[in-house]
């Protein structure tokens, strides 16, 4: 092969041939049709029995409580103790909406742990709000229910008998009782009574499908966990507090009810938190009112006793002019005393109740202290909320406790600093009082004492009235608690189911039907280490020439060609014979006898089969042909001739000097022009026999008598016999057998050809199935 031819051949091999690739898979078109059909049938069955799921959607806005003017937290805004509790981060609110506690409460209040199913039909149909019977639980033991679930004893069937009685069937029809509607039924884990659904009661007598209902009672926690996995809560926009809630369920109405109940539970919990702060504030106010009332009674009693003792009447009129100049001082002293009293009270309250909520809006003017109190209350509320579903050892609870302790210390420090500053102001006012005292030194001692008592009375009265006012404001705030989540869109359900999507399921089934045979075909091809067709052999070796291929023989077909009978086998050997003749004519002089050797890598690849049928084909063309059994170790040629004497043949000729070669040639009943020389007895020294010069003389004698000499030789990868014999060959047919010869052997054959160990080596692919053939064996060759 020239360089130009080799380069052109390489380009042709490397260029993808779409038609070749398509033909490779079209051979298995029935696989694709069957797999696609089965996949589509399975998809249709899946869509028929798979329950559709629907999505419910609700939208809420989390109210910012800082902007509310009538809330619990802003009731005392005039004193700026606590101007409002800031909303928790939106991530925390999303986490709360997705919490197990809220879902558990929703399941419990909606009684979703009790499910009703129709007993008719192949697929169970769940009743929701349209069950003819309703179970009302009076007592439910979760621990015993858990055991019943494990034993699969948490369900029973209600059979309708009449308007007054039903039959309850337990344990798969093993036990049953008759129960009157409305009477209590006691099971190990639950006590309940049965009611008729008013909306379905009139249909029970007319509709037999409603007369039997299966009831399943499940654990609330497990039902909540199942629903929680299908709940999604997320922000509509990153810059807003609008939250969209979605829930997927088999029943649209149930999904909507769950979302609405979740929003209700969320608001209810927020209202309870606000009420808790208001109640703690009311408790503090009532406590202080009791103390101030007692002190006020004591001051008024002292004032009365002072007047009686000193025989005073209208002391105000007498002292009016004297004390007019100090009225401003008194006002300041009253204000400072009030703030000091409130600060002291808050410090005492914080010492007695280290982890309780602090009262709000009590008249402290320091904004930093107000912020600390606000942060302290927020953390206490968050810890109390966590303690509902977690223990004291929970890391988040421990963290919040540490934060609360730190903030409490900061509040104490801030209040102490305020107390210290107020005492300084009070001392300054007292020093000013001393200066003013010299100005009124002439005022009778009774007047000074009386003014002191009256001043204390005014302070106590002002504080008492202030606390009464705040108690009323706190009561109004408690009564007017508003929900935290404002409902934007009440839960609604999408009309189309979200799953399963029939178009996608059918498309996936169709693609899987195509992919599975494609995968199997390619997997078989990748895992198969045997040659299958000529195209594959060409890819494995570009230097080896393929002379022809032979078809697979079915069990009911003859492995020997019958003269004048046209079959696929006979036509394939006609092609092979024509190619072989053309090849040897280019290497030998015209009219000379041709010697064709047939070998293979291993035994069982069709050497003898090819030798015999090639001999018949050449003989049918009028040539004189002899087939020699050249495999001295595993003779097979005698099997193609009845009553053949396999003991006499090539081996005996090479060992015996008394007979000539013609004495070893045998006629055959396969064709008149075809002769056999059998292998003979298996010798002990095959290589030594084949090296005898007598063998060369034998071929010279046979060439004078026969047009073609075909030698069935030993396999080359197991024995060296063929290499010894091959010097007499004009053409070497190297047999490859489809699905038998390993791909790696093609490379070995290529090395043999390059080293010229076998003369004029060409390949013949044997046992090729019709669908893998490159020679058009699919045509109908009739006899």
In a domain, 728, yes or no: yes
In a domain, 481, yes or no: yes
Quote the CA–CA distance of 101 and 107 in Å, as a whole number: 10
In a domain, 84, yes or no: no
- Residues of the domain holding 695: 534-772
Mean pLDDT of the chain: 82
Last residue within a domain, chosen from 489, 519, 549: 489
Task: Evaluate whether 529 touches 743 at the Cβ level (below 8 Å).
Answer: yes
Q: How many domains does the chain fold into?
A: 4
- Per-residue model confidence (pLDDT) at position 173: 63
Tokens of 452: 């002191």
Same domain, 431 and 369: yes
Q: Band of the pLDDT at 2, cuts 50, 70, 90?
A: very low
DSSP 47-79: HHHSPPBEEEEEEEEE--GGG-SSSSTTTTGGG
Among the listed residues 31, 35, 49, the one whose alpha carbon sits nearest the alpha carbon of residue 510: 35
Among the listed residues 734, 736, 732, the one whose alpha carbon sits nearest the alpha carbon of residue 767: 736
Percent of the chain with pLDDT over 90: 30
Last residue within a domain, chosen from 512, 527, 542: 527
* Cβ-Cβ contacts under 8 Å for 506 (sequence gap 6 or more): 40, 43, 44, 47
CA angle 263, 128, 106 (to 5 degrees): 25
Residues of 695-708 as b/e, b for ≥16 C-beta within 10 angstroms?
beebbeebbeebbb
- Per-residue model confidence (pLDDT) at position 479: 56
Same domain, 471 and 520: no
Over residues 597-610, the mean pLDDT reads 94
In a domain, 106, yes or no: no
pLDDT, tens digit (0-9, with 9 covering 90-100), for 347-363: 888 777 766 777 776 66
- Per-residue model confidence (pLDDT) at position 464: 76
Same domain, 436 and 392: yes
In a domain, 258, yes or no: no
Q: Band of the pLDDT at 677, cuts 50, 70, 90?
A: very high
- Per-residue model confidence (pLDDT) at position 70: 39
In a domain, 92, yes or no: no
Q: Band of the pLDDT at 482, cuts 50, 70, 90?
A: low
Query: Between residues 326 and 416, which one has the greater pLDDT?
Result: 416
Same domain, 224 and 292: no
Query: Between residues 238 and 31, which one has the greater pLDDT?
Result: 31
pLDDT surpasses 50 at 141: yes
Same domain, 642 and 713: yes
Q: Which of 67-76, 270-279, 716-725 has the highest mean pLDDT?
A: 716-725
**Sign of the Cα pseudo-torsion (493, 499, 502, 507, in order):** positive
- Per-residue model confidence (pLDDT) at position 782: 41
pLDDT, tens digit (0-9, with 9 covering 90-100), for 461-472: 788 788 777 777
pLDDT, tens digit (0-9, with 9 covering 90-100), for 754-771: 999 999 999 999 999 865
Q: Band of the pLDDT at 783, cuts 50, 70, 90?
A: very low
Quote the CA–CA distance of 288 and 291 in Å, as a whole number: 5
Query: Between residues 17 and 522, which one has the greater pLDDT?
Result: 522
Q: Crossing angle for the helix pair 18-26 and 29-49, nearest 10 degrees?
A: 70
Over residues 489-518, the mean pLDDT reads 88
Query: Between residues 601 and 368, which one has the greater pLDDT?
Result: 601
Same domain, 442 and 479: yes
If you search the block for the tokens 């912020």, which residue do you land on?
371
- Per-residue model confidence (pLDDT) at position 69: 40
DSSP 101-153: HHHHHHHHHHTTTEEEEE-SSSS--EESS--SEEEEEEEE-HHHHHHHHHTT-
Helices (H) and strands (E) in the chain, counts: 22, 21
Over residues 673-688, the mean pLDDT reads 92
Among the listed residues 151, 144, 136, the one whose alpha carbon sits nearest the alpha carbon of residue 187: 144
- Per-residue model confidence (pLDDT) at position 119: 83
Query: Between residues 389 and 255, which one has the greater pLDDT?
Result: 255
Query: Between residues 399 and 676, which one has the greater pLDDT?
Result: 676
In a domain, 597, yes or no: yes
Query: Between residues 272 and 782, which one has the greater pLDDT?
Result: 272
Tokens of 670: 């396969």
Least confident window among 167-171, 263-267, 356-360: 356-360
Same domain, 281 and 247: no
In a domain, 141, yes or no: yes
Quote the CA–CA distance of 265 and 271 in Å, as a whole number: 10
Query: Between residues 673 and 380, which one has the greater pLDDT?
Result: 673
Q: Where are the alpha helices (DSSP H) in 638-736?
A: 650-655, 686-690, 694-705, 721-725
- Per-residue model confidence (pLDDT) at position 78: 43
Same domain, 703 and 754: yes
Tokens of 292: 């101030």
| CATH code for the domain in which residue 752 is found | 3.40.50.300
End-to-end CA distance of the chain: 40
Query: What does each C-alpha distance from 342 to 337, 346, 468 come to in angstroms?
Result: 9, 6, 15
- Per-residue model confidence (pLDDT) at position 483: 67
Query: Between residues 696 and 590, which one has the greater pLDDT?
Result: 696
- Per-residue model confidence (pLDDT) at position 511: 93
Q: Band of the pLDDT at 444, cuts 50, 70, 90?
A: low
Q: Which of 75-84, 435-444, 642-651, 755-764 has the highest mean pLDDT?
A: 755-764
pLDDT, tens digit (0-9, with 9 covering 90-100), for 617-633: 999 999 999 999 999 99
Same domain, 185 and 244: yes
Query: What does each C-alpha distance from 537 to 528, 578, 770 come to in angstroms?
Result: 14, 21, 17
DSSP letter at 731? Answer: E
* Cβ-Cβ contacts under 8 Å for 372 (sequence gap 6 or more): 407, 410, 411, 414
pLDDT surpasses 70 at 88: no
What are the respective helix, strand and coil percentages of the chain, to the nearest 5? 55, 15, 30
Query: Between residues 736 and 541, which one has the greater pLDDT?
Result: 736
- Per-residue model confidence (pLDDT) at position 715: 94
Over residues 307-321, the mean pLDDT reads 62
Same domain, 127 and 202: yes
Quote the CA–CA distance of 356 and 44 in Å, as a whole number: 63
Percent of the chain with pLDDT over 70: 84
Query: What does each C-alpha distance from 429 to 332, 399, 424, 456 come to in angstroms?
Result: 8, 45, 9, 15
Residues of 14-29 as b/e, b for ≥16 C-beta within 10 angstroms?
eeeeeeeeeebeeebe
Over residues 445-470, the mean pLDDT reads 76
- Per-residue model confidence (pLDDT) at position 594: 92
- Per-residue model confidence (pLDDT) at position 599: 96
Q: How much is the pTM?
A: 0.53
pLDDT surpasses 60 at 15: no
* Cβ-Cβ contacts under 8 Å for 732 (sequence gap 6 or more): 596, 597, 598, 599, 726, 758, 759, 760, 761, 762
pLDDT surpasses 80 at 171: no
Q: Which of 33-47, 277-291, 298-312, 336-350 has the highest mean pLDDT?
A: 33-47
Q: Does an H or E element contain 375, and which?
A: helix 367-387
Tokens of 456: 């204390």
- Per-residue model confidence (pLDDT) at position 657: 76
* Cβ-Cβ contacts under 8 Å for 646 (sequence gap 6 or more): 635, 638, 678, 679, 680
Over residues 372-391, the mean pLDDT reads 81
pLDDT surpasses 70 at 1: no
Same domain, 515 and 598: no
- Per-residue model confidence (pLDDT) at position 781: 42
- Per-residue model confidence (pLDDT) at position 301: 78
| Beta bridge partner(s), residue 180 | 165
- Per-residue model confidence (pLDDT) at position 440: 60
Last residue within a domain, chosen from 489, 516, 546: 489
pLDDT surpasses 50 at 418: yes
Over residues 274-284, the mean pLDDT reads 74
Query: Between residues 300 and 234, which one has the greater pLDDT?
Result: 234
Same domain, 128 and 25: no
pLDDT, tens digit (0-9, with 9 covering 90-100), for 508-522: 999 999 899 989 888
pLDDT surpasses 50 at 12: no
Q: Band of the pLDDT at 675, cuts 50, 70, 90?
A: very high
3 state SS of 20: helix
């Amino acid at each position: 092969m020239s360089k130009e031819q080799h380069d052109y051949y390489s380009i042709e091999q490397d260029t993808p041939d779409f038609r070749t690739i398509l033909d490779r898979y079209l051979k298995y078109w029935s696989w694709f049709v069957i797999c696609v059909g089965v996949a589509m049938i399975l998809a249709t069955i899946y869509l028929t029995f798979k329950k559709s799921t629907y999505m419910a959607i609700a939208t809420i806005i989390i109210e910012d409580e800082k902007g509310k003017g009538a809330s619990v937290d802003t009731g005392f805004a005039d004193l700026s103790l606590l101007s409002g509790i800031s909303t928790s981060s939106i991530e925390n609110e999303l986490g709360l909406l997705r919490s197990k506690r809220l879902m558990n409460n929703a399941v419990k209040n909606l009684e979703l742990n009790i499910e009703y199913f129709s007993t008719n039909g192949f697929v169970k149909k769940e009743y929701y709000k349209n069950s003819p019977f309703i179970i009302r639980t009076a007592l439910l033991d979760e621990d015993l229910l858990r055991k019943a679930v494990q034993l699969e004893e948490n369900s029973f069937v209600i059979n309708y008998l009449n308007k007054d009685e039903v039959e309850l069937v337990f344990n798969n029809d093993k036990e049953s009782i008759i129960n009157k509607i409305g009477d209590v039924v006691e099971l190990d884990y639950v006590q309940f009574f049965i009611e008729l659904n008013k909306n379905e009661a009139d249909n029970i007598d007319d509709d037999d499908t409603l007369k039997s209902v299966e009831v399943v009672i499940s654990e609330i926690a497990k039902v909540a966990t199942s629903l929680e996995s299908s709940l999604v809560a997320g922000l509509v926009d990153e810059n807003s507090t609008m939250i969209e809630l979605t829930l997927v369920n088999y029943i649209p109405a149930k999904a909507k009810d769950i979302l609405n109940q979740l929003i209700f539970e969320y608001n209810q919990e927020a209202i309870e938190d606000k009420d808790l702060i208001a109640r703690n504030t009311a408790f503090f106010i009532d406590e202080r009112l009791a103390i101030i009332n007692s002190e006020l009674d004591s001051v008024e009693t002292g004032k009365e006793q002072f007047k009686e003792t000193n025989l005073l009447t209208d002391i105000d009129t007498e002292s009016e002019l004297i004390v007019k100049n100090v009225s401003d001082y008194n006002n300041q002293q009253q204000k400072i005393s009030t703030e000091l009293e409130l600060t002291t009270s808050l410090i005492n309250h914080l010492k007695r109740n280290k982890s309780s909520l602090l009262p709000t809006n009590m008249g402290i003017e320091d904004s930093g202290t107000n912020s600390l109190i606000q942060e302290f209350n927020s953390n206490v509320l968050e810890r109390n909320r966590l303690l509902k579903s977690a223990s004291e050892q929970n890391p988040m609870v421990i963290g919040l406790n540490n934060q609360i302790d730190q903030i409490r210390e900061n509040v104490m420090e801030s209040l102490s600093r305020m107390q210290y500053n107020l005492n300084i102001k009070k001392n300054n006012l007292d020093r000013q009082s001393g200066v003013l005292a010299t100005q009124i030194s002439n005022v009778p001692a009774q007047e000074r004492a009386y003014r002191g008592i009256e001043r204390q009375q005014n302070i106590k009265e002002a504080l008492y009235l202030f606390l009464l006012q705040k108690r009323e404001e706190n009561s109004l705030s408690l009564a007017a608690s508003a929900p935290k989540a404002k409902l934007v869109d009440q839960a609604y359900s999408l009309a189309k189911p979200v799953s399963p999507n029939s178009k996608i399921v059918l498309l996936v089934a169709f693609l899987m039907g195509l992919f599975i045979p494609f995968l199997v075909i390619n997997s078989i091809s990748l895992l198969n280490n045997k040659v299958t067709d000529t195209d594959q052999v060409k890819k494995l070796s570009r230097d080896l020439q393929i002379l022809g291929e032979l078809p697979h023989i079915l069990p009911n077909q003859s492995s020997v060609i019958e003269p004048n009978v046209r079959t696929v086998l006979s036509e394939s050997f006609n092609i092979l014979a024509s190619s072989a003749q053309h090849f040897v004519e280019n290497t030998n002089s015209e009219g000379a006898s041709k010697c064709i050797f047939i070998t293979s890598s291993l035994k069982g690849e069709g050497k003898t089969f090819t030798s015999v049928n090639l001999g018949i084909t050449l003989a049918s063309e009028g040539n004189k042909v002899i087939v020699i059994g050249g495999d001295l170790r595993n003779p097979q040629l005698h099997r193609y001739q009845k009553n053949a004497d396999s003991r006499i043949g090539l081996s005996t000729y090479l060992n015996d000097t008394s007979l000539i070669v013609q004495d070893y040639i045998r006629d055959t009943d396969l064709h008149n022009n075809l002769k056999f020389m059998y292998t003979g007895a298996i010798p002990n020294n095959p290589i030594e026999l084949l090296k005898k010069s007598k063998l060369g003389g034998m071929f010279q004698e046979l060439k004078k008598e026969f047009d073609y000499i075909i030698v069935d030789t030993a396999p080359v990868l197991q024995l060296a016999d063929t290499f010894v014999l091959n010097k007499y060959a004009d053409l070497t047919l190297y047999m490859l057998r489809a699905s038998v010869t390993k791909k790696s052997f093609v490379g070995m054959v290529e090395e043999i050809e390059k080293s010229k160990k076998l003369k004029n080596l060409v390949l013949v692919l044997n046992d090729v199935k019709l669908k893998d053939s490159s020679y058009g064996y699919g045509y109908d060759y009739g006899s």
